[in-house]
Amino acid sequence: MAKKAKPGDRVTNLTESKDIIRNAVPRIVNLKKQRKELNAEIAAEREKVNGAGISKQALDHAIRIKEMDPDDRQHFDESYAIARDAIGLPQSRSLFDFLGSADDAEEEAKAKKPLSGPEALAAARAGFEGGSTAPDAVN
């Protein structure tokens, strides 16, 4: 009885080689089919994100960083910031300043609306109790 070949073993018997091929081909075909289906699902998810206004390249970059070991990610983030600064491309102080949502817009509209009556009195008291006599300066 011939011994069963293991991965990495060199098979010299032609019959064994053919058996290995016959057993491997259906599995390879099935795996390729699964890969094709998974690739289609991944593409659909990437399209959803792209439809929300995020570039596919940015998504791929974020996924690569997310998959990093936390220590490697920390080193990457620090190195990336240094490299950008070195070539004159410093990162924005707040990357999310431009990403206002509908909730943010609604809150801004409320904040810009002048207060009157009890609301004005409550706001004045809150400002006085908090030690602030003037609105915070915007940097």
The runs of H, that is alpha helices, within the chain are 14-51, 56-66, 70-86, 102-112, 117-129
Query: What pLDDT, on the 0 to 100 scale, is given for residue 91?
Result: 78
For tokens 């596919």, name the residue.
56
| CA 61 – CA 51 distance, rounded (Å) | 17
Q: Can you give the residue ranges of every domain in the chain? A: 13-54, 58-92, 100-130
What end-to-end distance do the CA atoms of the chain give, in Å? 82
| Mean pLDDT lowest among 39-48, 75-84, 105-114 | 105-114
Q: What is the mean pLDDT of residues 55-71?
A: 95
Give just the sign of the alpha carbon dihedral 80, 86, 88, 91.
Answer: positive
Length of the chain measured in residues: 139
67 band by pLDDT with thresholds 50, 70 and 90: very high
